[in-house]
Structure 1
Amino acid sequence: MKQKLYTWIEDYLFYPNTFQKLISFLLIPLTFVYMLIIFFKRAMAKEIHLGIPVISIGNIIVGGSGKTPVAIKLASRYENACVILRGYGRASKGLYVVSHNGKILEDVKTAGDEAMLLANSLPNTSVIVSENRVKAIQKAKELGCKIVFLDDGFSKYHIKKFDIVLRPKKEPTNIFCLPSGCYREPKGFYFNADIELKEGRDFHRVITFKKNGVETKLPSKLALITAISKPKRLLEFLPKDTKMISFPDHYSFTKEDIEAICEEYKGFSFITTGKDLVKLNKFKIKDLYLMDLDIKFDENIDFKIMEEYIKSYE
């Protein structure tokens, strides 16, 4: 029942049917209020220069657009880098250094799933979670970091930064801002980006399947376990008859959840994402496969303007 509700909400936000469009139109007055708040925040923001290059990787729709894998891809190119994020879904509050130069200092419960995936994927990078991005950037400087990648930082207007904004491969048919649609900021704000990267045009997801760290082929009887936004997008990479077991974004799986799934899907092998795997590892699920995600940038993308921005701090 809950899975159907989450799917219904995502369909309403991104690709509504006729009934959902009616609800969307009824909520337009609230959307106008929301947009006024956004415009006011942007107009009143005073940029803080923090003395370190800050590369923001963000989007303007709710849910995922590939921010984390793009952050991993870019951060891996630099020495003394730090990735900073809020840490949605974590059990902690405040500032935590999840990893320092690759040494992991916190567990997934404290760090959150995205931060732990970043820490595991970047063996030479630091990762910090904090609701206060300014304090986190200052902490990164204390740790000796020379460049910061700010995950989901486009709306942090008060921070002087270089904005990379990601655009989804399939554009939502619902063009409204919250709560009428999926946009956190007006669609026209794409023009405020320093670089706009569209999936399918400027970058592609490269998926390999692994079991116990070894690349392998998938079995035919397969069920996907995931707690990411817009989980149906994963199905295009999986066999046609794959079953999908989805939970809310950043959900913390329980022992009862996994026992119920294993009971219902006896005889199935399971597959999950890297973000989910950091939370599922402790349950020792048999026949668990990983969708290992990498990002491939189009060779025509010119990051020269970003490199010039970084060099301006040297």
Structure 2
Amino acid sequence: MKKSLVFWVEEYFYNPSLLQKLLSFFLLPLSWLYCFVMYLRFRSKRAEDFKIKIISVGNLTVGGSGKTPLVTAFGAAFKNPAIILRGYGRNSKGLVVVKDAKEILCDVSVSGDEAMIYAKKLPNAVVIVSEDRKPAIKKAKEMGCEIVLLDDAYSKHDIKKLDVLIDVATKNNFCLPSGPYRERLWSFKEAVVLQEDVDFTRVVTLEAQTQRMSLVTAIARPSRLNKYLPKVVGKHYFEDHHSFTKEELQAILEADNATSLLVTFKDYVKIESFGLPLSLLDLEVKVDTNVLDRLF
């Protein structure tokens, strides 16, 4: 039931049917009210200067946009960056240092899947999860980091930072609940908007390929993967940040008579310890050098 609702909402936001469009128009008064409240919230905030370069990477809409690979690409450009994020899907609360400059300090259940991606892909980075970004920024400074990269923090208007936003294509351009927009790109807000295939491009690698792979993934808007997929014998979509069990994955292997499960890195970090045959569809990005010069 939960999975069906999640995918219905994703369709409603990004590729609405006629009935969903009618519902969207019906909810417009609520969207206007929501957007006005968010604007007032933005105008009421005063940005605190933490005396360290801070860049937030995200998007204005709900759902996936490819921010994790982009943050990873930015982080790889520095010797000692800090990656700070909320840590959706983790079984922990408060501020947790997932990784210092040398080693990973917790498992994926404590960090959440996205934080563990950064911990594994960026050996020189400090990775911190915290619902409140401010103490995490202070912690990063204490740990000697040279730059802070915030994962999805456009709405944190009380932090002085540069916002990098990924332009996400959608047929529904309304604010919540009529559409997917959490906020607008407000005037007086310093931001850089990047487009895929213009400012950055996907670099896709396939590791441990087998003859009969079955796709299993728990990312937002999983249909985004279709253009990168090799031949698979099945596709199994779960809601974003889903916590897999070994038993449900074994059942998929058996039902599809698959020789391996094809997963993204976001899925891989959660299930690598299960000892199941895995193939990895790793989606990274290459950023145009002009973009890096503008930002850093």
Alpha-carbon deviation of 1:179? 1.2
Q: Tell me the secondary structure at the aligned position of residue 83 of structure 1.
A: strand
- Indicate the SS of the match to 1:104: coil
* Aligned Cα root-mean-square deviation (Å): 1.8
Deviation (angstroms), 1:185 = 1.1
SS of the equivalent of 1:228 reads: coil
Contact 1:209 1:218 in 2 (8 A): no
Aligned-residue offset at 1:133: 0.3
Matched, 1:225 2:216: yes
- Report the CA distance between 1:95 and its aligned residue: 0.2
Q: 3-state SS of the aligned residue for 1:20?
A: helix
Residue 198 of structure 2: which of 201, 211, 215 is its match? 201
Q: Indicate if the aligned counterparts of 1:258 and 1:283 stay in contact, CA closer than 8 A.
A: no
Letter in 2 for 1:198: Q
1:109-130 superposed Cα distances (whole Å, 9 cap, x missing partner): 0000000010000001100000
| Residue correspondences, number | 296
Distance 2:281 2:108 in 1: 19
Q: Distance in 2 between matches of 1:190 and 1:116?
A: 35
In 1, Cα distance between the equivalents of 2:234 and 2:176? 30
The aligned residue for residue 252 of structure 1 is 243
The whole-number CA distance in structure 2 between the counterparts of 1:15 and 1:75 is 33
Q: CA deviation at 1:240?
A: 5.3
What is the CA distance between 1:76 and its match in structure 2? 1.1
Aligned partner letter, 2:175: C
Instruction: Name the residue aligned to 1:21.
Output: 21
Aligned-partner residue type, residue 178 of structure 1 = L
1:211-239 CA-partner distances (Å, limit 9, x unpaired): 2xxxxx553x3321111000011111113
- Structure-1-length-normalised TM-score: 0.89
Q: Percent identity among equivalent residues?
A: 45
SS in 1 for 2:198: coil
Structure 2 counterparts to residues 1-314 of structure 1, below 5 A = 3-168=3-168, 171-186=169-184, 188-189=185-186, 192-211=189-208, 217=209, 219=211, 221-239=212-230, 242-286=233-277, 288-299=278-289, 301-307=290-296
Distance in structure 2 (CA, Å) of the matches to 1:156 and 1:141: 18
Return the TM-score normalized by structure 2.
Answer: 0.94
Match of 1:103, SS state, is: coil
Unaligned runs of 5+ in 2: none
**Counterparts of 1:92 and 1:190, CA distance in 2:** 36
Distance 1:43 1:87 in 2: 27
Match of 2:123, SS state, is coil
Q: What 5-or-longer segments of structure 1 have no aligned partner?
A: 212-216, 308-314
Q: Is the 8 A contact 1:102 1:122 kept in 2?
A: no
8 Å contact 1:102–1:119 — kept in the other structure? no
Measure the CA separation in 1 of the matches of 2:125 and 2:196. 25
